[in-house]
Structure 1
Amino acid sequence: MNHRLPARTAVLGLVTALAAGVIAAAPGAAASGAAKAVCGPAPTGQASAAGTLGWGTPSWCAEFDGVLDPADWVIYDSAGHAGKGRRSPDQLYVGNGSLYLYGRADGTTAGIGARHEQTYGRWETRVRMYEGGATAYRPLALLWPRDGGGDVLSTTGEEIDFLGVYDHPGKWRPNFYLQTPQGEEQSYSDVEVTTWHTYAVEVSPQGTVGYIDGKEWFRSARHTTGVMQPCLQLDWFPGGGTEGEAWMEVDWLRVYPLNAAGTG
């Protein structure tokens, strides 16, 4: 769409300037220049569940201000979603305080999973999408069982997409998806995914709650019971829309314990 072209052009220019900084470190390898992010309270001026509900200080966060440390991340190098296309380390870029996942028209895209895990807790991320004329790409922020992501399948039958994007019904919009051994549940929102929003989830023995910009949009008495890791993916669904390139930009990712100091 024409009104999005200037923003997309700016991102293309930025990534061109960042080409020398492509993330290609193998998991477990030393990452020169990697610095640990300083995790403070929820950012002011941004609607978030952490800020609205008083989740306190994160136990871990990614601010994307420097090199991705392989001690913190699993960088996908595998077949794409449902075995279609490919997730390549070459499609990840960091710059201007953001992580960019770039999907090419041929289905070469990116995915990344944090090594920081917990069974119960809270997770939140701030994301926007550049369609680039392509609706075959879908951004995802999800919780996956330990050692999941890439070409690893869930062995527990558990998954939580606290940001998924699907065409339902006949409209491209955010989807919350919960999968447990007891079945599947989901909900949809009408927010515009090409503008900044925060997406969050809380998992506790009492159930699962999803939030957009600090407002509840999903609730279930069901919950996952496995050790879960947060993942960020730009997945390719060929045949599901117009082919072309796309970008997913991630401002930050934060992980909170279930009961941080000063919270309920």
Structure 2
Amino acid sequence: MILRSHARTAVLSMVTTLALGTLGAAPAEAAAAACSAAPDTKSAARVHGWGTPVWCDEFEDEYLDSADWVFYDSPGHAGKGRRTSQELYLGNGALYLHGLPDGTTAGLGARHAQSYGRWETRIRLYRGAGAYRPMALLWPNGGGGGEYSATREEIDFMGVYNDPSRQRADFFLETPKGGHELGYADVDMTKWHTYAVENSPAGVVGYLDGREWFRSSHSTRSPMSLCLQLDWFPGEGSNGEAWMEVDWVRIYPMNAGGDG
């Protein structure tokens, strides 16, 4: 498990500065109750009536549990840099992923996988190195540790590619039969937004603040895990540090409310 107290003093000070006054810690019973329903009107789950999640993480506890998460400890994307749990931090009811200028960064994947369903997360980014790509994605079981998945399946339902100002959200879909499909939206990602995706036999739909912004008739078929990654692409953007702040994540079954 990743304990809140494992954060180094200097970095924890920066985390506190970034988050201070924006998110208050909720009592444990309130956090548990919040898991039963979508928490705000800009949630796709609330707008489209997805019902009760099968699993969520509010990041209100004192630790991240290894029973729920796979913590990356490996070379970074395409073998560049290093992913380590030492750059994961908890504070003020949020999870932070931190990337250092030398490519030491963080990533983790939920152990709760399903082939079809709905996934949603609330994220805020900070202006930072263009060489870092903040990502919320679906990847076959085990997390997005490699350059390509074994099944060639991937759904990036929140990505940033070489944009240090964090003003453009990218959507990426890769399926064995459908090839590569891309979408994007101009949005200030330094403010809080919810990002969601629905994967069904009929196709993939992406949502930004509850509104559809991507649709494809292709979809993935393998059991998929929700992953949070801060990926390093040296030489493909400005150098430096990067931060990614995650308020919560939720997973819904395909038949939970809505029209699915």
TM range (shorter): 0.7 to 0.9
CA–CA separation in structure 1 for the residues paired with 2:236 and 2:32: 37
Runs of 4+ in 1 over 3 A off after TM superposition: 261-264
Task: Verify the 8 A CA contact 1:122 1:258 in the aligned structure 2.
Answer: yes
Matched-pair contact (CA < 8 Å) for 1:75–1:89:
yes
> 2:46 and 2:188 mapped to 1: Cα distance?
21
Aligned position for 2:7: none
Aligned to 2:21: none
Give SS of 1:189's match.
strand
Find the aligned partners of 2:15 and 2:246 in 1 and give their Cα distance. Answer: 17
Contact 1:56 1:263 in 2 (8 A): no
Distance 1:262 1:244, change over 3 A: closer
1:135 aligns with 2:133: no
Task: Please name the residue that 1:53 is paired with.
Answer: 48
Question: Per-residue CA shift, 1:166-220, capped at 9, x if unaligned?
Answer: 249xx96211111001211110110111111110000111110001001111000
Q: CA 1:11/1:61 → structure 2, altered by over 3 Å: closer, same or farther?
A: farther
Q: CA deviation at 1:148?
A: 3.3
CA distance in 1, matches of 2:17, 2:114: 33
Q: C-alpha distance in 1, partners of 2:88/2:14?
A: 13
Residues 175/136 of structure 1: CA separation in 2 closer, same or farther (3 Å cut): same
**Alpha carbons of 1:10 and 1:149: their partners in 2 closer, same or farther (altered >3 Å)?**
closer
For the aligned residues, what is the CA RMSD? Answer: 2.4
Aligned residue type for 1:177: F
Q: 1:238 — aligned with what? A: 234
**Structure 1: gaps (5+ residues):** 1-8, 17-35
Distance 2:67 2:147 in 1: 19
Please state whether the residue corresponding to 1:238 is helix, strand or coil: coil
Q: Name the structure 1 match of 2:6.
A: none
Name the CA distance, whole Å, in 1 between partners of 2:56 and 2:131: 30
Contact 2:72/2:145 (<8 A) preserved: yes
| Aligned residue type for 1:149 | G
Q: Distance in 1 between matches of 2:13 and 2:235?
A: 26
Cα distance, 1:95 vs. partner?
A: 1.3
Matched, 1:188 2:195: no
Amino acid at match of 2:14: L
Structure 2: distance between partners of 1:167 and 1:117: 29
Preserved CA contact (<8 Å) 2:131 2:162: no
Q: 1:145 and 1:10, CA in 2 relative to 1: closer, same or farther beyond 3 A?
A: closer
Alignment-mate amino acid for residue 12 of structure 1: M
Distance 1:37 1:81, change over 3 A: farther
Of 136, 141, 145, which residue of structure 2 is paired with 1:150?
145
How many Å apart are 1:143 and its aligned residue? Answer: 0.3
Aligned partner of 1:14 among 13, 16, 38: 16
Kept in 1, the 8 Å contact 2:114–2:223? The answer is: yes
Whole-angstrom distance in 1 between the partners of 2:192 and 2:243: 13
Distance 1:43 1:192 in 2: 21
**Identical positions, percent:** 62
Q: TM-score, normalised by structure 1?
A: 0.83
Deviations 1:9-59 (A, max 9, x none): 99715289xxxxxxxxxxxxxxxxxxx955220013x51111111111111
How many Å separate the matches in 2 of 1:78 and 1:177? 24
What is the match of residue 88 of structure 1?
84
* Partner Cα separation in structure 2 for residue 141 and residue 11 of structure 1: 25
1:251 aligns with 2:253: no
Q: 2: distance between equivalents of 1:13 and 1:201?
A: 28
Please give the alpha-carbon distance, in whole angstroms, between the structure 1 residues aligned to 2:235 and 2:132: 10
CA distance in 2, matches of 1:213, 1:77: 32
